[in-house]
Structure 1
């Protein structure tokens, strides 16, 4: 007689529009060997979750895999789980969007396999109190949360039984789930995990054991076997050999034969790795009792790159909610928004998350496309003000038929610079050393130096309604002591917007009774494409341009402008100045998460390109009570 009921499965999340190489690596290291190994053992059953971004890739690149998967689903050996179409973090999106994503993935699975999913997988186990009604409305009967969140049921009742949760009279069953990983968070064979769990929970007779496909593909080599195929064949052979003791089930079979032990109202739940990331990120702020805050949203605000994407997502979602007109256009815009809600983009996950350049660029491109879809045919440029980053201060937003430009009030910098034609946000480069993104952040440094700071010109005051239309004025007074001299300056920074370009005019007034000498710098993190080799970087001097192979840090004097373009797209960003400047430029690379931190000489294909750091500096000598004027202009050329 079989004494234990066991569900084994694999869940798979990858960012929308991540590189084909990342998809192929995970396919060869986890998806293919798992399914092909399982196919040889008809008596072993399993559960699999694929996010909606993976299915189109499989249909295009490995249709034979889809044929095999559909066959195994129809014969009852594999249960495909539903969930969010683009694996969103449920607390970060609206109930309406979550419902739409769950329903869309369920509809796809039903159309492909003929069976509607009864269970849903939550990305990183992200739970919100409204999920029972959301899932029940989509005919989802059960979901999964980490076993560590479940109460140790007393009174003779078995530990490991599912519980139910309710929202507005809509009830959902929740199964306690264990991760198949070792103490180093690497994948561990299912049979080894099961043996360890039996020792830790001798009273438990039911186990649900799931594994992350990404972790499988990155860690199977530690097993010492020649391929992941052998790894999974050994696992399934072990379960078949011990079939008299262990009965492998699909979740729907377990749900039909198991009753819930009690009702539990969970507040917030996440995977252990996501909680650790949030704790590390939130620790940048002095918040002592993190159990009282919504950690997923707080971590979004505390990472600059994630925050910029999140504020863009919320702004575009609001605009589309207000749109009245063609329903097909609105539906297309909503689908673009869903792509940008991919949970991988709102933290630095196992695959790199927001730091994966192709995923980050694609997310902004989806949101730009959503904006374009709902625009009227005759779109006129306009300047508006809204609190984008929820700090109580309004930010400036300029939109035209050529570009969008979002300004951050506190730093008077550009947080987003979108090309409407190519759907590229050129301001989403990332400097991990400085923990910085965005363009035209200003600093005052010592003369002839890009390294030694006198003061960072932050905490600007924005003047919403200057006399000139389509312009935004920032103002800042500051003082700093340097080498027994007092530096007292009044800075005015004015953005002037036109349909196809914008300019940044600087006015620096010396308020001291002595002349002052310093370098005024503005730094930008710029990216045009996810691949370094697709960039063309140009140096402009008078009317001549010179292409540079910028593979390492470089310094140039008396520069009139720079150009950056994606060689695959007929578009170039030009930054010109009316006053020659010094230039410090360098590319930024990060190791892929699969590369060990101990590896020093990392091959180029194991690096992620994060964009260029561009430092522009003017050496200024301003007499007492004097003023200096200079400006930059930013153009998009097609």
Structure 2
């Protein structure tokens, strides 16, 4: 009687920067459950991958769980797959980092377990044709990718029921294809239905037929109720025991030893079907859609350049650098991804730590403590202005309204990007009444000339046609300034229906201080008639998230402490954002202003439904202006870290 081979592979993963509460909840509800299942069915064959960030977390917090899992490996029940220590999207990181990611994972896994994994789990199954060159050279035998990659290349789907070989530059790797059909019914339909699906793939006289289920372990106990997960798994695996003559649970290495491969294939870029939908067919498109994802990616590349001049990192920092390449914060689909501020913050923390080490090791600043660099930081064909000192970085985008888009604190123990806020993008699932996507990137120093009737609600919710000038998006020119300062200048228009624009000159003069910076803003009417508007100077501040205890941030204005979710309109010259785990972050003007304050929140769809996710505090300094020809207004605003 013919049978079908079945690889049951579970991918355990939590990202760099995950909240401790969530890690512990999933451990209790899912990972402990799965360990019980593995023990109860130790006569069956399971394949598992534990992602690098989770492996390190478990080694520190739950070593007893790992020890029990590794015992099952000794018994032959579990086969382990390697990964990248940062669970990074391998094609989007530098080529030598790809190899380093995998080598570091194998090294740490061997130190903890005594096993050398034979296969490689590819994060999000993002496949590009050059990957075999790295994977094969590291001696790994096989990978899992999705059947959608096979069909996207143009091959018939029936080829997915076998293992194949592919190569690049003479380095080979065996490929198993995850079957989408079983992934959509296991564990969502009754166990008997899954068994019938498996038996339905039997081909008489063909003992090499194979079905691979490879997906998230967290589906059991986290996505699906823990009690139901337990009963489902016990029922399903009992069916596997009782139907061994028709379905053979097998490890990938066993399959290769017994059946080998069908032959040679070359494959297109790919991933699972939903990822292809979310990314418009190619993962790197996320770096185009989400400026915040692109910002982290290009920050990583910038730090990489500094690393090349500093030599090898100490191992602890090397792991930090690799963990900063963790994929979750760089994309968005059904999961929170780039919208989750605590994940982005963790990426920046680790990159800034590594950056500080490279600067110290390479004597980057030499005898000077201030570097001004014009460089195409984000590879969009336009130069950005980077201001760097040993204690802080200010990254400025002249072409986007002369705005501050990254503000790094490099002080040891306080590594943080104060400007790590998130723009609200249009998403297919966000058709809520009243939701208007942001028409500009939510960063700082942006100038608006609002119509006189504009208020806080209009600004934070993007009421159309309220900004009557083009200064917010205007290209700014970098001009010479005094020693230790930079100047940005732009010429824009103030527009009123039925009249030609009034020309307006804007200037931003920036000077760094020991614990922050001060920006002098000037607006001058260089037109031939008077205009009246509300001048708005926009800031966004990312408070430091407490990932351990989730202590709440707050702000102080006019001596009163307020929750960050409590916005309002105030008359004041300063506002201080506080986090229990971080020094105060103060915005302070040299004169009193009307100040609009609102929590910047985005909406994300997750496997548990819609979430409102705080991204930072939005602050607008407002001044009612009536400027006649030749008149100007100026004010200065300081951004101060209270340290």
Fold shared, TM-score > 0.5 on shorter chain: yes
What does 1:195-206 align with in structure 2 at a 5 Å threshold? 195-196=196-197, 198-199=199-200, 205-206=209-210
Change (3 A) 1:194 1:580: farther
Quote the residue 1:285 is aligned against.
none
Taking the aligned partners of 2:608 and 2:340, their CA distance within structure 1 comes to: 14
Pair 1:7 & 2:7 matched: yes
Pair 1:423 & 2:415 matched: yes
What SS does the aligned partner of 1:27 have?
helix
Quote the residue 1:286 is aligned against.
none
Whether contact under 8 Å (2:587, 2:639) holds in the other structure is: yes
**C-alpha deviation, 1:430, in angstroms:** 2.1
Taking the aligned partners of 1:194 and 1:472, their CA distance within structure 2 comes to: 68
Bigger shift: residues 14-23 or 27-36: 27-36
What does 1:448-597 align with in structure 2 at a 5 Å threshold? 449-450=454-455, 451=458, 452-482=466-496, 484-485=498-499, 486-530=501-545, 533-540=551-558, 545-556=559-570, 558-569=571-582, 571-589=583-601, 590=603, 593-597=606-610
**C-alpha deviation, 1:101, in angstroms:** 1.0
Give the structure-2-normalised TM-score: 0.87
Quote the residue 1:137 is aligned against.
137
Bigger shift: residues 162-171 or 32-41: 32-41
**C-alpha deviation, 1:50, in angstroms:** 0.8
Give the structure-1-normalised TM-score: 0.88
Whether contact under 8 Å (1:180, 1:187) holds in the other structure is: no
**C-alpha deviation, 1:553, in angstroms:** 2.7
Taking the aligned partners of 2:186 and 2:503, their CA distance within structure 1 comes to: 54
Taking the aligned partners of 1:301 and 1:153, their CA distance within structure 2 comes to: 30
Aligned length: 603
Taking the aligned partners of 1:164 and 1:446, their CA distance within structure 2 comes to: 64
Q: Which runs of 5+ in 2 are unaligned?
A: 425-436, 459-465
**C-alpha deviation, 1:16, in angstroms:** 0.7
Quote the residue 2:168 is aligned against.
167
**C-alpha deviation, 1:516, in angstroms:** 1.3
Whether contact under 8 Å (1:586, 1:612) holds in the other structure is: yes
**C-alpha deviation, 1:481, in angstroms:** 2.8
Pair 1:387 & 2:380 matched: no
Whether contact under 8 Å (2:527, 2:629) holds in the other structure is: yes
Pair 1:178 & 2:167 matched: no
After superposition, the C-alpha distances for 1:253-277 in whole angstroms (9 at most, x for unaligned) are 1121122222122231112222122
**C-alpha deviation, 1:61, in angstroms:** 3.0
Change (3 A) 1:18 1:131: same
Whether contact under 8 Å (2:595, 2:621) holds in the other structure is: yes
After superposition, the C-alpha distances for 1:395-441 in whole angstroms (9 at most, x for unaligned) are 11112233211111212111111122200111112242527432222
What does 1:74-473 align with in structure 2 at a 5 Å threshold? 74-150=74-150, 160-179=161-180, 187=188, 192-193=193-194, 195-196=196-197, 198-199=199-200, 205-221=209-225, 226-279=227-280, 295-324=282-311, 327-329=312-314, 331-376=315-360, 379=365, 380-411=369-400, 412-421=402-411, 422-432=414-424, 433-434=437-438, 436-447=441-452, 449-450=454-455, 451=458, 452-473=466-487
After superposition, the C-alpha distances for 1:513-551 in whole angstroms (9 at most, x for unaligned) are 2221111112233221225753231225xxxx4322342
Whether contact under 8 Å (2:166, 2:266) holds in the other structure is: yes
Whether contact under 8 Å (2:538, 2:620) holds in the other structure is: yes
Taking the aligned partners of 1:201 and 1:22, their CA distance within structure 2 comes to: 41
Bigger shift: residues 502-511 or 376-385: 376-385
Taking the aligned partners of 1:212 and 1:201, their CA distance within structure 2 comes to: 26
Change (3 A) 1:127 1:114: same
After superposition, the C-alpha distances for 1:263-308 in whole angstroms (9 at most, x for unaligned) are 12223111222212212xxxxxxxxxx6xxxx22232122121121
**C-alpha deviation, 1:607, in angstroms:** 5.3
612, 617, 622: which is aligned to 1:617? 622
Whether contact under 8 Å (1:82, 1:120) holds in the other structure is: yes
Taking the aligned partners of 1:583 and 1:69, their CA distance within structure 2 comes to: 56
